[in-house]
């Protein structure tokens, strides 16, 4: 499924383009989240929630929705058309999207509000929010962690897509985040660090979250080490491959590259916009 999600992402980079690198890094996080964490048979106030705070990776979200049967595949063809609502950031006109995002550092707070209400009502809902690593620059993320721990929101799990880049810069070259586990631990969180492309590691991490929830209080943090551009060697871990708009021929080559058939030759310039 992750491979098919990556195919969707690559196709969405044609024409007007998309944030391809950050989309490719969080594919396993989204696929795992919707397949194994979110219990989709639960409804109304008993629901589980997955909030995507790093909204620019929305192609990965929509690709996952298509593969889960939540979103009609033909709608991805409406990317950047004013006739639909498939654009560079998520919005609730698209089925499955919990909340709009795009401005960074917002959804940890929104998720904490949801988690608090689940606690107040005595529910066993799971509330997950996926953030970027550059997003951790925003003070609002850390404010949320302080408050969420003050209220003992052990039903909240923050998953950090730790792909090492923010826009066109390495995080450690700009505003260093490491040692990141220690920072979250010092704020009172239960922290795990895993390979974010490894489904077994994700399975173990979320099993630990469930087990811990019965004995401990505190926000769960899963730092998922990932590779920006994962799956496409010509894009992987490259600062300049952030927002990309490719030609149809380039997209064809990248799809081949995804399946290991060739290495793509990319001519299109990347754009700098957030």
Write out the residues near other proteins by the rule CB under 8 A.
15-16, 55, 80-82, 85, 87-89, 91, 100-105, 134-135, 137-139, 166-169, 174-175, 271-274
Whole-angstrom distance, CA of residue 216 vs CA of residue 86: 40
Q: Nearer Cβ to other proteins, position 173 or 256?
A: 173
Q: Nearer Cβ to other proteins, position 69 or 139?
A: 139
Give min distance, CB of 48 to other proteins, in A: 24
Identify the helix (H) or strand (E) that includes residue 8: helix 2-12
Q: Nearer Cβ to other proteins, position 12 or 114?
A: 12
| Nearest alpha-carbon partner for 166 in 197, 132, 213 | 132
- Helices 2-12 & 58-68, crossing angle to 10 degrees? 130
Give min distance, CB of 127 to other proteins, in A: 21
Q: C-alpha angle 68/225/220, rounded to 5°?
A: 75
Give min distance, CB of 256 to other proteins, in A: 27
Q: Nearer Cβ to other proteins, position 55 or 229?
A: 55
Q: Nearer Cβ to other proteins, position 201 or 244?
A: 244
Output phi, psi for 268, to 5 deg: -60, 135
Give min distance, CB of 89 to other proteins, in A: 4
Please state whether the peptide bond connecting residue 179 to the residue before it is cis, i.e. omega within 30 degrees of 0.
yes
Q: Nearer Cβ to other proteins, position 64 or 270?
A: 270
| Nearest alpha-carbon partner for 23 in 52, 48, 50 | 52
Close Cβ partners of 55 (under 8 Å, ≥ 6 residues apart): 89, 90, 100, 101, 102, 103
Give min distance, CB of 175 to other proteins, in A: 4
Diameter over CA atoms, the chain: 55
Give min distance, CB of 51 to other proteins, in A: 14
């Amino acid at each position: 499924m992750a491979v098919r999600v990556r195919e969707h992402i690559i196709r969405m980079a044609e024409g007007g383009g998309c944030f391809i690198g950050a989309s490719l890094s969080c594919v396993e996080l989204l696929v795992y989240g919707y397949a194994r964490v979110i219990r989709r048979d639960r409804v109304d106030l008993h629901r589980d929630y997955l909030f995507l705070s790093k909204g620019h990776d929305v192609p990965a979200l929509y690709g996952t929705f298509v593969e889960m049967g939540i979103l009609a595949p033909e709608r991805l063809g409406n990317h950047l058309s004013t006739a639909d609502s498939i654009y560079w950031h998520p919005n609730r006109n698209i089925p499955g999207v919990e909340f709009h995002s795009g401005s960074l550092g917002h959804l940890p707070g929104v998720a904490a509000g949801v988690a608090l209400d689940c606690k107040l009502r005595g529910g066993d809902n799971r509330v997950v929010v996926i953030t970027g690593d550059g997003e951790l620059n925003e003070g609002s993320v850390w404010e949320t962690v302080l408050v969420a721990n003050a209220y003992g929101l052990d039903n909240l799990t923050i998953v950090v897509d730790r792909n090492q880049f923010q826009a066109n810069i390495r995080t450690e070259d700009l505003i260093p985040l490491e040692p990141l586990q220690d920072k979250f631990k010092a704020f009172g969180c239960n922290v795990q660090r895993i390979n974010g492309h490894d489904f077994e590691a994700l399975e173990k991490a979320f099993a630990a979250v469930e087990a811990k929830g019965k004995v401990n209080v505190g926000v769960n943090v899963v730092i998922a080490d990932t590779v920006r551009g994962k799956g496409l060697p010509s894009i992987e871990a490259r600062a300049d491959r952030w927002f990309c708009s490719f030609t149809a021929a380039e997209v064809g080559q990248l799809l081949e590259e995804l399946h290991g058939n060739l290495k793509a030759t990319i001519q299109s310039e990347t754009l700098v916009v957030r």
